[in-house]
Amino acid sequence: MRRVGWYASVRLFYRIKDSLAFITSLRHLLLGGMVLLLTLSTYLLLVIEEKYEEWQKPLRAIRNLADESLRNNQPTMEEHKEGLSQTIKRLESPTQSRTQGRYIPEWQPPTCEPKENVAFVKVHKAGSTTVQSVFLRYGYSHNLTVMLPGGRNPASFSWPDNPSPGDAYPVSGGVYNILTHHARYHPETIQARMPPDTFRVAIMRHPIDHLKSMFNYKHLNTKYKLDPLNPIQIFLENVTNYAETDMYNKFYNGHWPTKNFQSYVLGFDHLRDVGDEETEQHFREVTKDVPFVLILEHLDESLVVLKRTLCWSVTDILYDWTARNYRKFYYKSSSLSQLAMENHRKWSSIDYTLYEHYKRTLWEEVAKGGEDFALELEHFRTMNSNVNQHCRIDPKGSKSFTATRWSKAWTVDAEFCKQLRHDRYIWDGKLAMRQNGKLRRERLGP
């Protein structure tokens, strides 16, 4: 009995020893497995991190381009704020002492009659919506008749084709004072629907900046499957490879946003080039019929010239600093190679010729005004700055302006602040109600 007990005890001892050895081995195995797993996971993490860094390189480049673009392309209001402090200083006592008797702080009534019949050729992606709001506000505040689209597109007249009969809402008398919605320049339409003395004006921007904006607006980098880092340069360095008829028909619905697009809006055949006889003839006709075109890069100068030409007041050309349809995109400020620039000048030769002609015309008009124009420009920028700042800080209040040489005493109130920021949809609704009401009263009688 004792022997059995002793043997059982010894056997139990060895079993416990074997179990402990197995547990120890298992523990070592587990620890070894964990070490191996940790080693593998560390290796994988290092590999993934390396790959991740490679994957992040183009993304970082895009973000850097975007940051640089945003730093160099702040919204319109910020751009104005940076330059206006110096403008305001020059307009105050130093300017008065510098100009002595030429700066007269007294209102001088104009000797001309305001021109109220205007056809504005609204070029896409050229700052035209901001200028359109000026014409719509003028038309509404002066009780003029504005031509409103009556077709399927509430923003345009038969675009991308020429305007057609029946694409505008009828009005009392059948004659319109202002055309400012999207429409291809079509002299026959203006002659048929507007008074004979209608002043014709358009707006343009530098062709390369316009191309960038159209690229972003139409998502052409995606449609052409271009490298996102600098799609404009890739496109222009291989422009003939992308100029295929199937792409033209598939994406553009009868017009080509990459070739002479601004010229197309002004009635040109965008597939032609400068030097073509038909193009040269149309160039002579357009530059005669449309004597002045606003230049987006010099919008303030352009508006002052327009104000003088139409005999309007400074308050008529004030505009909202909140850029309409402003879009931020990372390749907006991207530089282009010499080859890309040369190819684009050949590719959109009509756009370049028109832009340079009208830019030269603008500076000729500025030069004619001399120092008086420079002072009026400063006055306009200062007033536009003060009005915009007031309408943001105290939109329901009022702010008075004393009379100056170029504007009579005037008070901006809550209604003007509201109108300054109206978009096209609001103006169209207000004008439609007024014009339709007048037409109904005319048809139904007293």
Q: What is the pLDDT of residues 261-279, one digit of tens each?
A: 999 999 999 888 898 899 9
Banded model confidence at residue 16, pLDDT cuts 50, 70, 90:
low
Residue 351 domain-assigned (yes or no)? yes
- Identify which has the larger pLDDT, 73 or 403: 403
pLDDT, mean over the chain = 79
Residue 48 domain-assigned (yes or no)? no
Q: Can you give the pLDDT at residue 7?
A: 54
- Identify which has the larger pLDDT, 17 or 160: 160
Q: Can you give the pLDDT at residue 38?
A: 62
Residue 26 domain-assigned (yes or no)? no
Residue 299 domain-assigned (yes or no)? yes
Query: 23 pLDDT exceeds 60?
Result: no
- Whether the Cβ atoms of residue 125 and residue 262 lie closer than 8 Å to each other: no
Query: 384 pLDDT exceeds 80?
Result: yes
With 0-12 / 13-18 / 19 or more C-beta atoms within 10 angstroms meaning exposed / middle / buried, residue 16 is exposed
Note every long-range contact of 321-326, with CB atoms under 8 Å and residues 24 or more positions apart, other chains counting. 321/75, 321/76, 321/77, 321/80, 321/384, 321/388, 322/75, 322/76, 322/77, 322/421, 323/75, 323/76, 323/77, 323/127, 323/130, 324/127, 324/129, 324/130, 324/133, 324/423, 325/125, 325/129, 326/75, 326/76
Cα–Cα distance measured from residue 374 to residue 304, given in angstroms and rounded to the nearest whole number: 10
Q: Of 116, 137, 81, which is closest to residue 416 (Cα–Cα)? A: 137
- Identify which has the larger pLDDT, 73 or 278: 278
Q: Global pTM? A: 0.74
Residue 278 domain-assigned (yes or no)? yes
pLDDT above 90 coverage of the chain, percent:
50
Query: 100 pLDDT exceeds 50?
Result: no
Residue 124 domain-assigned (yes or no)? yes
- Whether the Cβ atoms of residue 278 and residue 272 lie closer than 8 Å to each other: yes
Mean pLDDT of 32-40: 64
Q: Can you give the pLDDT at residue 223?
A: 80
Q: Can you give the pLDDT at residue 245?
A: 44
- Identify which has the larger pLDDT, 352 or 37: 352
Q: Can you give the pLDDT at residue 50?
A: 47
- Identify which has the larger pLDDT, 92 or 47: 47
**Sign of the four-CA dihedral 237, 275, 127, 244:** negative
Query: 319 pLDDT exceeds 60?
Result: yes
Query: 402 pLDDT exceeds 80?
Result: yes
Mean pLDDT of 109-132: 93
Banded model confidence at residue 52, pLDDT cuts 50, 70, 90:
very low
Residue 209 domain-assigned (yes or no)? yes
Q: Can you give the pLDDT at residue 97?
A: 33
Q: Can you give the pLDDT at residue 12?
A: 59
What is each CA distance from 430 to 162, 242, 317, 433, 441, in whole angstroms?
26, 44, 20, 5, 17
What's the token pair of residue 298? 């010099």
Mean pLDDT of 209-222: 86
- Whether the Cβ atoms of residue 178 and residue 135 lie closer than 8 Å to each other: yes
- Which domain range does residue 296 map to? 73-444
Mean pLDDT of 318-346: 79
Peptide bond into 160 cis (omega under 30): yes
Mean pLDDT of 198-211: 96
Mean pLDDT of 182-201: 96
pLDDT above 70 coverage of the chain, percent:
70
Count the domains in the chain.
1
Residue 7 domain-assigned (yes or no)? no
DSSP state letter for 107: -
Cα–Cα distance measured from residue 9 to residue 45, given in angstroms and rounded to the nearest whole number: 52
Q: Can you give the pLDDT at residue 229?
A: 76
Query: 420 pLDDT exceeds 80?
Result: yes
- Whether the Cβ atoms of residue 324 and residue 129 lie closer than 8 Å to each other: yes
The segment with the largest mean pLDDT, out of 40-49, 53-62, 224-233, is: 224-233
273 Cβ partners below 8 Å, 6+ apart?
279, 346, 349, 350
Judged by average pLDDT, the poorest of 70-84, 247-261, 314-328, 371-385 is 70-84
